[in-house]
Amino acid sequence: MTSSRGEAVVRKTLPPTIQQPTVVVVTGLSGAGKSTALRALEDLGFFCVDNLPTQLAPQAVDLCERGGMTRVALGMDVRVRTFLDNLDAALADVARDKRRHLQVLFLDASDEALLRRFSETRRPHPLNSDEADEGAQRGALAVLDGLQLERERLAPIRARATRVIDTTRLSVHELRSTILSHFGPAAGGALRMTVRFVSFGFKYGVPVDADIVFDVRFLPNPFFVSDLKGLPGTDHAIVNYILNFEESRELIDRTASFLNFVIPKYEREGKSYLTVAIGCTGGRHRSVVVTDALCDALSSAALPIVVVHRDVQRANSRQSVPSHGGEP
C-alpha cells in the first residue's frame, strides 16, 4: 500500500477489543491530589468532569456513553455543598447498568502534609466559608478546622471507596505513576500503547517524532550489488540477501530483546505511542528489512503495531523500481 506522500505503509494492528464501560469517581480531601489524579486519568483516555454535583452523576454518565465515551472520571468533593446528599443513591444509579465497572478513588493525606500544601499555594480551604454546619455559624475556619470537618463529612465515602491512595509522601509525578499503574494498560484498564516502526534514510533526515533511533548502516548494502540495486527492501531478494548475514540476524535478535525490555516500561509511564526509527543511508534496503523483521519478532507482544517505510519509494529519477513480486 502506498500513501499519498509516496510512503509504503504496512499496518499491523490487533483486532478491536470491546472495553467494559468504566466510571471512576475521584474524591478525597482537599489538597490530596484530586486534580493530578484527574489529569492522569485524562491522559489515559478518560472523559473527565470535575466538581460535578452528586445528583447529576447518573445523567452525566448516560450522556457520555451515548456519545461513545465509555471511560468516564467524575471529580466530586466538598466544593459541592450537597456533596453527600443522596450520594449512595447516585452511585447506585450509576451502577444500575451491570455492564459498568464503578470505582471510587479516594485520595487521602496527613494533616501535616495538607497544611503544608495549603501554606505553599496560599489557597483557602473550601470549607472556610461554610456557614451551614447544623445551623451553627462557623465563620472563617482555620485550615486545620476545615480539614477536620472535611474528614468527618467524607468518612462515609472513604469507607465505601474501592481504592484509597495516601499521597502524604508522594510527589506529583509519583502520584501520576500510581494512577497509571492502577488504571493504565498494565492493569488492563486502558488501550495498549501503539508501537510505530519507521524505516528511513539518513540522507533525508531522522524522523522528528522518533523516540528511539537505530542506525543499521553497518550492515552489507545491497545498493552495491548490481542485480539488487534497483529493488525495494520489501522484495524477497533483498530480504534474503540481508538476512543471510549472521550479523543481521544477531542485530535483529538483540534489538528485539532490547525492545521487549523497554516497551513495557514506556507503556507503564502512560505513553500512547512509541515511535522506533530504523535508518540506513537511503531508507530503501537495510532499514526496511530490519524494520519488518523487528515487527515480526514483536508481533507476539499483543501490542498494536504500525509500520511505515518512509523512504522506500524514493529512487533515482532516471531508474525505475520493478516490483519483482515484492510489496509495492
Q: How confident is the model at residue 191 (pLDDT cuts 50, 70, 90)?
A: low
Intra-chain end-to-end CA distance of the chain, in Å: 6
Apex CA 288: angle with CA 282 and CA 292, to 5°? Answer: 170
| pLDDT score at 167 | 93
Measure Cα distances from 129 to 41, 116, 236 in Å: 30, 20, 75
Residue with cell 488504571: 183
The per-residue b/e assignment along 4-17, b for 16 or more CB within 10 angstroms, e otherwise, is: eeebbebebeeeee
In DSSP notation, 108-165 reads E--HHHHHHHHHHHTPPPTTTT---BTTB---S--HHHHHHHHHHHHHHHHHT-SEEE
CATH fold for domain 22-187: Rossmann fold (3.40.50)
Q: Over the stretch 200-256, which tens digit does the pLDDT of each residue have?
A: 999 999 999 899 999 999 999 999 998 998 899 999 999 999 999 999 999 999 999
Lowest mean pLDDT among 18-27, 157-166, 182-191: 182-191
Q: How confident is the model at residue 311 (pLDDT cuts 50, 70, 90)?
A: very high
Instruction: Please report which helix (H) or strand (E) contains residue 239, including its range.
Output: helix 236-243
Query: What cell does 35 get?
Result: 486534580
3-state SS assignment for residue 99? coil
pTM (whole model) above 0.85: no
Q: Under a CB-based contact definition with an 8 Å cutoff, are residues 278 and 316 in contact?
A: no
Q: Over the stretch 47-92, which tens digit does the pLDDT of each residue have?
A: 999 988 888 888 999 998 888 888 899 998 776 666 666 777 888 8
Domain boundaries, the chain: 8-15+192-309, 22-187
Average pLDDT score over residue span 91-102: 85
